[in-house]
Amino acid sequence: MMGIINVIKSGGAEEEAFIKKLLSRCMLDDENIVQSTEKIISDVKQKGDESVIEYTWKFDHVKLNTDEIKVSKHELNEAHSFVDCELKGAIRQALKNVNDFHMKQKENSWIQTGKHGTITGQIIRPLDKVGVYVPGGTAPLISTVLMNVVPAKVAGVNDVYIATPPYKDGKINPAILFAANEAGVDNIYKIGGAQAIAAFAFGTKQVPKVDKIVGPGNIYVALAKKLVFGYCDIDMIAGPSEIAIIADDSSNARFLAADLLSQAEHDIMASAILLTSSQCLAEKVCEEVERQCSYLERRDIIEKSLKNYGAIIIVEKIEEAIELANKIAPEHLEICTEEPFAFLSSVKNAGAIFLGQYSSEPVGDYYAGPSHVLPTGGTARFFSPLSVDDFIKKSSIVSYSKTALYESKDDIVRLAAAEGLTAHANAIEVRCGCK
């Protein structure tokens, strides 16, 4: 250990233990949390708005009337006057960047014809209703609004709703309301936690039932999403945030330390890892982490995060760092080497890849365009970032003419017979005059 971040030599038991600990940060199997969340979901399912109001009072200390659950038009209009012009400009530019990126993801329905009049194809349709969860807390998560709402709107979703917990005065942060309005959100609801997820999943008199729920949240929100999956779709089970940075001795230690710290400040479960082939760079980054951490507001959180889940792992060569990064499958991966693009093709598992010294992870969090909703906890091995694809559904098209069916009947009947499904074979044979 050197300073407030762990320093580990690769290839030993210490590295193995750290990676194992890193990939087991999820707490979704905590029995007390499971039971509490199940009760909240059951209550909201049975009693609707009554339970939503009770839990809002219990957890957020806000007493709402039924007609106050939804943000009013007056509150939306009022929010505009409380957001300064420069922030409005930044939100609008970020919105444009996110929209432009996701417009390139749109797919079109297609159809093809074959011989004897066969027609096959695919119809792409947007989901009808989507609920976006935006966490509360001390900071207004404007970026969460943009990164979840815009892909849905680009996909063509008819109705996009937001649920977010109110402040103790019963209000929602004006910047959240402004961003939501600019992004085209249809309604905003002053509810948070597992009760908000349940309200979206089952519907209440005030809150519509949706087809899909997306957005980050605390352990109760994550577990609630898991429990309602099947009643509606969800984006993913998001765990604590994480970053892995691959760097050689050409890298700037100040930049690397700043990026590690920016990730560690999320919460005490967040992970920040540097993989480097340079012992000298590792020492400089350690010094910079301590120096920069000393003046940051969330220092206590950062220090706990780095102590438990932060590390500088010293490897023999950069290729080894790439292999280790693929094993970790990080949410965010920065490649800060002299020739970062030279290693891009070797990266197999990462939510988002940032290339070069000036492609700091917060650029992606707020501004560049791709959604910052990314797979965590090693799930980048099989999950992708939130995209337009998450808000569409696909239907296959099949049309066979009489001639086409007659030509294919023997093969179809043989396959059905091989599976022992004689009624399937019969459906073909009766059309072809065989029975």
Count of Cβ atoms closer than 10 Å to residue 149 Cβ: 28
Per-residue CA distances from 383 to 192, 235, 309, 331, 352 (Å) = 26, 10, 22, 10, 11
Task: Please return the burial class of 10, using the count of CB atoms within 10 Å of its CB with bins 0-12, 13-18 and 19+.
Answer: middle
Q: Are 255 and 266 in contact (CB under 8 A)?
A: no
Q: How many C-beta neighbours within 10 Å does residue 396 have? A: 8
Query: Quick check: 176 and 76 in contact, CB under 8 A?
Result: no
| Active-site pick, 266, 332, 334, 372 | 332
A 10 A CB-CB count for 113 gives: 11
Range list of β-strands (E), 76-173: 110-113, 119-126, 129-133, 159-163
Q: Is position 332 annotated as part of the catalytic site?
A: yes
| Chain centre to alpha carbon of residue 283 | 34
The CA distances from residue 433 to 406, 409, 410, in Å, are 10, 11, 12
SS3 64: coil
Catalytic residue among 303, 331, 334, 361: 331
CA end-to-end span of the chain, whole Å?
80
Q: What is the largest CA-CA distance in the chain?
A: 85
- Residue 407 falls in the annotated catalytic set: no
Task: Choose among 28, 433, 47: nearest CA to 229.
Answer: 28
The tokens for 18 are: 């750290």
Which residues, other chains included, contact 65 with Cβ-Cβ below 8 Å and sequence gap of 6+?
53
Question: Residue 46 contacts by C-beta under 8 Å, 6 or more apart in sequence?
Answer: none
What is the per-residue burial (b if ≥16 Cβ within 10 Å, else e) of 220-238?
bbbbbbbbbeebbbbbbbb
> Could you list the active site residues?
331-332
